[in-house]
Amino acid sequence: MDEVIQFSSELYERLLSVVHLRLPKKSFGYLVSDIGKDVATDFLIFEDNVRNDGRWREEFESRGRYFVKYHDAGFVATPEETWRIQKEMWSRGLLEIAVFHTHRRHPANFSKIDYDLHLSRFASLPHVIISLRNSSQPQLRAFSVASDGVKELKVIVNGRFATALPAPADNSLDWNREVLALDATGRPRCRDSQLVLQSISELLSSARQDAIEDVLANGFLREVEHRHAEYIEPNMVRLNSARFLMGTRAARARHFCAEVPQHSVELSPFSICRFPVTNQLLALLDERRLELPAAACSAPAVNVTWFDAVLFALWVGSRLPTEAEWEYACGAGSDAEWCCEDECTLPEYAWFSENAGSEVLPVGMRQPNAFGIFDMHGNAWEWCHDAYDQDYYRYSPIKDPVRDAFTGSGTARFNGHDHRCCRGGSVHALAEMCRTRYRLHEPPTFLVTDLGFRLARGPITPLHFQGTEKGGIDDQLDRASVARQLAAG
């Protein structure tokens, strides 16, 4: 089985550009090569789609309301074009090295319909999916597909990342003061969450207690406990320490990527918010959220990057849940696919493609799970803290697992390349994507209309807020708080 798919940066950009220009039309075709079976040198796109003809339409619509509602969901090539393109490949000496298709509303994930229709045709051809749900940030993923499951392949774009690392930050105290300055309303002046977090991390790494106290404890985060007590704590659910089985048994994994092996996890007590963060809540940090239509106030705050989510969590004395915490809180101890008994009852608990439109809906309008937590399935995908690794379950620790990709300090901790995990599905998601154990990942700079987050609090201090010598941000701020009290005394 091929482990990588390689593109030249020119071909990669041309493919993304072409499928973008064809929107709203669905694109599908072959990646082809004239030099080897894992290096794409061109692509061939089909023009005609008979997905809405006769029996094909019936077959698609039998797979759920999403395929009834969206006639552009799904594709079937015509026999005539299939043969024409096959002859073109032969005449040009091209080898088909992967099938590709675009998603207009879904992430670049591999669903059951893709699995069934691909596997019934091909034995080992990889499948590439390009998500255009945020068309200005297209996401391309490649998958190997076999009867024993689906695995995500590494996509190598030659030359693309060679110069993409961010420039080192100026970590002088003046720079930190400037980045972490507040405006007259007490909100950060700097709108770049990544930069703000980088500055905080730099400051903590410096271990300069006076600067940490001055700029952070008495400055940027001076109201943090007040904000937490007033706005967050009332909606937190406290979960006791627990042991549960994370992931999916191999026999049931089918096309679901990265959910194996199922493994035992022990969690320390933690708290998690009953609801996703709403626009109204996020306005504590970003007043532009108040300019949204009134109906959006109580809906999940979406169009947030992972950096935006992490910064807001810090701003209100919280953090993002780890994947393990999220999965445990979502399933509420159930070993079923969802927190409820089966797919038939899922609409009582979730807004997803079977019962929702195209926009996220006010939180808390479906049934809560057994822990009293709302909207974990559907409505909006939720960022988790962890950096994504499809093999993480093979080596993750039993106790409080969390995958922090960050090493070094400052800039190195806040690169935009390591993807972060997202969970739960959204209003567009098929039931399978809303599963408790379903894993998705996106780059931390990605934002889209159905991706938000919720808050957690517990014993884990994310690595990027750990000082190099003197403990994590909680320790640092605790010390600053003690120092302040001593001074006041």
Partner 1 sequence: MINLIVPASLVNLLPDEPSNSVRRSVPLSSGPWTDVAAEIRERLPVLAERVLTDSNHIARGFVLVVNDKIVAGDQIRVNLCDGDNISVIAQLAGG
Nearer to partner 1, 67 or 275 (CB): 67
CB of 124 to partner 1, least distance (A): 5
- State both tokens at 441: 């990942």
CB of 249 to partner 1, least distance (A): 24
Q: Does 306 contact partner 1 by CB under 8 A?
A: no
Q: Does 63 contact partner 1 by CB under 8 A?
A: yes
Q: Are 171 and 178 in contact (CB under 8 A)?
A: no
Nearer to partner 1, 128 or 373 (CB): 128
Q: Does 142 contact partner 1 by CB under 8 A?
A: no
Which residues, 83 to 122, sit near partner 1 by CB under 8 A?
Answer: 83, 86, 89-90, 93-96, 99, 101, 111, 113-114, 117-118, 120-122
Which residues are 102's β-sheet partners? 130
Nearer to partner 1, 16 or 76 (CB): 76
- Torsion angle (degrees, nearest 10) of CA 281, 287, 293, 297: 0
Q: Does 69 contact partner 1 by CB under 8 A?
A: no
C-alpha 457/C-alpha 471 separation (Å) is: 17
DSSP per residue, 275-303: SPPBHHHHTTT-GGGGGS-GGGTTSB--S
Query: How do beta strands 139-146 and 127-131 pair?
Result: antiparallel
C-alpha 301/C-alpha 276 separation (Å) is: 8
Task: Read off the amino acid at residue 22.
Answer: R
User: What's the DSSP call for residue 472?
Assistant: B
CB of 430 to partner 1, least distance (A): 9
Using alpha carbons, list the distances in angstroms from residue 30 to 35, 151, 269: 15, 19, 49
CB of 235 to partner 1, least distance (A): 37
Which residues, 122 to 141, sit near partner 1 by CB under 8 A?
Answer: 122-125, 127
Q: Does 288 contact partner 1 by CB under 8 A?
A: no
- Torsion angle (degrees, nearest 10) of CA 261, 264, 270, 271: 50
Nearer to partner 1, 82 or 264 (CB): 82
Q: Does 29 contact partner 1 by CB under 8 A?
A: yes
Q: Does 435 contact partner 1 by CB under 8 A?
A: no
Q: Does 79 contact partner 1 by CB under 8 A?
A: yes
Nearer to partner 1, 127 or 441 (CB): 127
Burial (CB count within 10 angstroms: exposed 0-12, middle 13-18, buried 19+), residue 486: exposed
C-alpha 134/C-alpha 448 separation (Å) is: 6
Q: Where along the sequence are the contacts to partner 1 (CB under 8 A)?
A: 28-30, 36-37, 46, 51, 56, 60, 63, 67, 73-80, 82-83, 86, 89-90, 93-96, 99, 101, 111, 113-114, 117-118, 120-125, 127
